[in-house]
Amino acid sequence: MTESTFEREQATGIVKVVLMIIALAISGLMLSKAIHYRLDVAGLDPVSQITTEVRERQLACLAKNIYYEAGSEPFEGKVGVAQVTINRTESGAFPGDICKTIFQKNVVYEKVICQFSWACDRDTGVRPLQTANYNESMEVAKKVLLEGFRLPSLKNALYYHADYINPGWHKPQVAHIGHHIFYN
């Protein structure tokens, strides 16, 4: 092997190592940005813990969602709505924060679509009128969010609708509880 060939191979090897180091640095930077983005979507910073204030806000949002979506439903129906909300929040396909998931709005063909219809239809600042239904909704929110209570049939459920409508979804149906049909 001539000296110039050896020097070329050595230079090529050095270039490959430098390119590999650059690629690793870029990958690390992208991973860091992705982690910070997910934490930001969840409303957290990288070193924060869930505070009492954050947990109380999550409970209030979840209780309102249960109340407006399933306030007159049986206990299991309320749990189903809560569980779908939590499943969405944890899925990565929706915001990583319970309140942001509940109030998420999309624009489709210039029409605003809410993830949960009541968030578009009602003044969300108004206190619920049926105190007993709201109190039960809050108890369900606590059981699901704080105690991890779940219905096994809804482990992966991300969607539901009232049984008196047919949205034409082509999703696997997993349960019919009260007046709601649940889907994965």
Helix 75-91 vs helix 131-145: angle between axes, to the nearest 10 degrees? 50
Mean residue pLDDT across the chain: 85
Which pLDDT score is estimated for 89? 95
Domain identity same for 25 and 100: no
Domain identity same for 58 and 33: no
Helix 52-70 vs helix 131-145: angle between axes, to the nearest 10 degrees? 130
- The reply to whether 173 falls in a domain is no
Domain identity same for 96 and 141: yes
Tokens of 119: 């968030």
CATH number, position 108? 1.10.10.2520
The residue assigned the tokens 């050095």 is 14
Per the structure, the complete domain to which residue 6 belongs is given by 1-41
Beta strands in the chain (DSSP E): 105-108, 111-114, 159-162, 173-177, 180-183
Tokens of 56: 């109380």
Domain identity same for 63 and 147: yes
Helices (H) and strands (E) in the chain, counts: 6, 5
Which pLDDT score is estimated for 48? 53
Which pLDDT score is estimated for 29? 60
Domain identity same for 83 and 140: yes
Residues 23-44 pLDDT 10s: 666 765 665 555 555 555 555 5
- The reply to whether 156 falls in a domain is no
Q: Which residue has the higher pLDDT, 114 or 10?
A: 114
- The reply to whether 165 falls in a domain is no
Domain identity same for 145 and 93: yes
- The reply to whether 64 falls in a domain is yes
Task: Report the number of distinct structural domains present in the chain.
Answer: 2
